[in-house]
Amino acid sequence: MTTMSDPIPEELARRIRLVIFDVDGVLTDAGVYVGATPGGEAVELKRFNIQDGVGLKMLGWGGLDVIIVSGRVSEATSIRAAELGIAGCYQEPNAHKLRVVERILEERGLAWDEVAMIGDDIPDLAVMRRVGLKAAVANATPPIAAIADWQSSQSGGHGAAREFCDALLAARGDLDRVVERYVEDRSQT
């Protein structure tokens, strides 16, 4: 396993065409706020990191496809994916992620070694065992950390996804170009 101080090997990074993000524990801190309105309507809230969201968008600007695959259904996840412009938001009840990803790869004509995934816990294990680049958040459970090719120094929901995005883009030689493209685009008056 490598950490942020150990870059992702360029050859491995350049093979990647699709990046999969888990949600709970990767894009969030794994906490869920559950309640109800006065009328009894269920409400679920999650805390997402804004810098992580920019990282996901940066991957797209760098030419990579980004999808979200969650092991549970949540309106908060749907809202965040839509806000980020991620059309590939798959929420699979009971964490049957492998069959979802197999279908995606078949539809897109991708091989497992062209896929990266960042995860945190055993619901991610079946997919992560097959992907070409396995990334884990700093607070990943031992089964995930043990197979990771790269592990963040940040915890899930607290910058781990952005750290991974930056590391992957840097390994591909695209980070500076993507950042400058963003700045140039936002500098237009």
Q: pLDDT tens digits, residue range 8-21?
A: 999 999 999 999 99
Residues 95-108: tens digit of each pLDDT: 899 999 999 999 99
Is the predicted pLDDT of residue 3 greater than 90, yes or no? no
How far from 125 is each of 9, 61, 75, 151, 153, CA to CA, in Å?
A: 22, 28, 24, 15, 20
What would the two tokens of residue 132 be? Answer: 């070409």
Q: What whole-number distance in Å separates Cα of residue 108 and Cα of residue 1?
A: 29
What would the two tokens of residue 66 be? Answer: 């980004």
**What is the residue range of 164's domain?**
2-186
Residues 140-176: tens digit of each pLDDT: 999 999 999 999 999 999 999 999 999 999 999 999 9
CATH number at residue 140: 3.40.50.1000
Count: domains in the chain: 1
SS3 133: strand
Mean pLDDT, the chain, rounded, equals 95
Strand order in the sheet with 133-136: 2-3, 150-151, 133-136, 115-119, 18-21, 65-70, 89-91
* Mean predicted confidence (pLDDT) in 102-124: 98
* Mean predicted confidence (pLDDT) in 85-103: 94
Which residues have a Cβ under 8 Å from the Cβ of 177 and sit 6 or more positions away?
A: 62
Give the pLDDT score at 8: 96
Residues 49-67: tens digit of each pLDDT: 999 999 999 999 999 999 9
Model confidence at 182, pLDDT cuts 50, 70, 90, reads confident
Share above pLDDT 90 across residues of the chain, in percent, rounded to a whole number: 90
CA contacts within 13 A on the Cβ side of 135: 35
